[in-house]
Structure 1
Amino acid sequence: MSLEWAVFVLLVVAGSVRAQSVASECPTPNGFFADSEQCDKYYHCLDDVLTEKVCPDGMAFNDLNPKVEKCDFLFQVNCEGRPRLQNAKPSENCPRQNGYYPHPEPTNCHQFYYCTGGQSSQLTCPEGLSFSVNSGTCVWPDQAGRSNCVSEKLLNFTCPALPPSSTEVHPRFADPDDCQYFYVCINGKEPRRNGCAFGQVFNNMTKTCDAPKDVPECKDYYTEYFDNYFSTLNPEQGGRVSTDVIAAAIASGYPVPRHRNRVHVQPSQAGQGDAPSRPAAEEEPEAPRRPVAPVRRRRPGGGVRRRGRPRTTTTTTTTTPEPDYYYYYDDYYNDENYPEEAAPDTEPAKPPSATRNTLPILSRN
């Protein structure tokens, strides 16, 4: 046997042994399985054949379900026991290609970046909240776990000390600079800024949101806003009144002006000597009209009447209970004897009395 042939045989044998070793590493013949050391590496087993894969930079393999191939953001995956990650590929404002990352300035707690494929987009938390690296969301400053993002520095407010007799767990205090907002002091220490609904202000006496007219120091809080809103609004030129603003203005006690919808007809739109046609829809509803007596209809020939209750068809003599009343085609009031009980603001007229049922009950002989 030549030397070249011997080397070839050894390589084939080594390859078959390696294939058996790799195949035996699959926990089950098919599925997706996490690497034991690297959080963003995983393996795809197909018929006991193992293939190594790696998540995009900034993401990790979520091994909750071996039947699902899923890479999530780092804060969404538990990497305990496998902390290693692939080498980062940073770009501007993005420590890794994908994920949510805090603002580079340590004291800028309310802004952060969303990165996808190395491209960043700046986002801003709602007022009073800070970005949390651990959850990738906006939370209260004391929950963000960032030393430079404490509530007192961000909100410029310190919770006042409560007297020993106080029973409030999370006391509320009015914002000294804004009537619509107030602070909730968690356990009396950590301030969190909250706000009342649009059209309301915080009442420091009742510790609740209230109408401005009931809070003397804030009675004119919305006046300037509503003055500007209604002064620039012109419904006759197509302006629309926001129902939310109207509701807030009414709730605040603001005197809302009436904006009427009217129809204007230009002289050229009407014919010469003809008055403009009256709009079909009137702003003011018409007064209710007095009921008009129904037109008296003649009974059809042959004395046909409407079908009533089933009749007895047996030859034996039976007693049929008398109904309350029958329906007849001539069962209307005369025009000249229109009952006054049908007039408005009174009870409706009652059905005709059963004594008018003068026709006999027919039965088959």
Structure 2
Amino acid sequence: MQFKPFLLLLAVVAAQDDAFFECPESNGFFPDPEQCDKYYECVNKVPETKFCSDGLLFEASDPNNELCDYPFNVDCGAREFVQEPEPGLDIKCYRANGFFNHEDPLICNKYYNCVHGFPHAYECPPPLVFDEAQGTCVREEQASSFAKKCEKSDVKEEIEGFSCPDGETLGPNGQPLAHPSFPHPTSCRKYLTCYFSKDLNELGCTEGLVFDDRSNTCVPPEEGPKDCKCWYECDPKSDCPDSCNTDCSCS
């Protein structure tokens, strides 16, 4: 559907609506002519007024199907009104149900999925941005005019002096890695992963293991890089069993 703002309509008494609505068929589910989240269930030509849950709209293409769906899946046509939002909603939720922009105008890759008024936070994988009109993460060139526009920072994120390298990182088979990992500058247990070669994250192996950048896995110290063999403890037979370096050498 074409994304557009809806006009709020104060709720009216359902019994009054039933009296004015004429069922087009004996049985089925039929849309209100003006309000997109309101519909009628007709049984033997007798209508009963119904409303979709707050934030959802009535999908009117099949009178045999009672379906309320998200706005980006529903063509409302001339039905431009909707009910008032539920009172007392979390500030992150415009409506009790739906996918909504992050509250920070400078953040374009995060959003909320509100379910029964409770916001669940999500983040788009880089380089995607959230488009509220489409209810999903898209590339910037695919975003609608309703998607937020955020300025890009030229400053690369760093963790202890490390930043994701420019361009592709090739794996052992010569193929580009989607999420390459690198040794941590100061820790044998930790490692750094560049999701989509851009989004820098610090991760770690479980206790007792070290990161091996040759296999991109966590391994026992004796199977890992030479400079990490004594990361956890020194060899008791060492000349410096209490003060060895991570590569087992003595200072």
Which interval holds the TM-score relative to the shorter structure?
A: 0.5 to 0.7
Distance 1:93 1:99 in 2: 11
Instruction: Report the equivalent of 2:164.
Output: 178
Number of residue-to-residue matches in the alignment: 179
- What is aligned with 2:24? 27
Point out the structure with the larger strand share: 2
Which ranges in structure 1 are unaligned for 5 or more consecutive residues? 1-17, 158-176, 183-194, 211-220, 260-365
Match of 1:136? 135
Match of 1:62 in 2: 59
Change (3 A) 1:234 1:223: closer
Maintained 8 Å contact 1:60/1:77: yes
Q: CA RMSD in A?
A: 4.1
**1:228 matched to 2:226:** no
Q: CA separation in 2, counterparts of 1:59 and 1:119?
A: 15
- Asked if 1 retains the 8 angstrom alpha-carbon contact of 2:111 and 2:130, the reply is yes
Q: TM-score, normalised by structure 2?
A: 0.57
- Of residues 153, 156, 161, the one that matches 2:154 is 156
Q: 1:209 aligns with which of 156, 176, 187?
A: 176
Contact 1:142 1:149 (C-alpha < 8 Å) held by counterparts = no
- SS of equivalent residue, structure 1 residue 142: helix
Provide Cα deviations, 1:322-352, integer angstroms capped at 9, x if missing partner. xxxxxxxxxxxxxxxxxxxxxxxxxxxxxxx
Shift of 1:141: 2.4
Aligned to 2:104: 105
Q: 1:72 to 1:229 in 2, by over 3 A?
A: same
Q: How far did 1:127 drift?
A: 2.4
Q: Give, in whole Å, the separation in 2 of the partners of 1:29 and 1:234.
A: 65
Equivalent position of 2:114 in the other structure: 115
**% of aligned pairs identical?**
31
Provide closer, same or farther for how the CA distance between residues 196 and 68 of structure 1 changes in structure 2, counting only shifts above 3 A.
farther
Q: Deviations over 1:283-323 (max 9, x none)?
A: xxxxxxxxxxxxxxxxxxxxxxxxxxxxxxxxxxxxxxxxx
The normalised TM-score by structure 1 is 0.41
Deviation at 1:56, TM superposition (A): 1.2
* Paired residues of 1:32 and 1:69 also in contact (CA < 8 A): yes
> How does 1:157-306 map onto structure 2 within 5 Å?
178-179=164-165, 182=167, 199=171, 209=176, 222-224=182-184, 228-229=188-189, 249-250=214-215, 258=223
The alpha-carbon distance between structure 1 residues 112 and 148, as it changes in their structure 2 partners (threshold 3 A), is closer
Deviation (angstroms), 1:89? 2.7
Whole-angstrom distance in 1 between the partners of 2:42 and 2:140: 44
Higher helix proportion: 1
CA drift of 1:257 comes to 6.3
Q: Distance in 1 between matches of 2:96 and 2:24?
A: 31
Q: Deviations over 1:147-177 (max 9, x none)?
A: 7525xx23639xxxxxxxxxxxxxxxxxxx5
Counterpart residue number, 1:82: 79
Output the amino acid matched with 1:26.
C
Higher RCO (CA-CA < 8 Å; seq separation 6+)? 2
Structure of greater Rg: 1
Say if 2:125 is the partner of 1:126. Answer: yes
Gap change, CA 1:48 and 1:134, over 3 Å in 2 = same
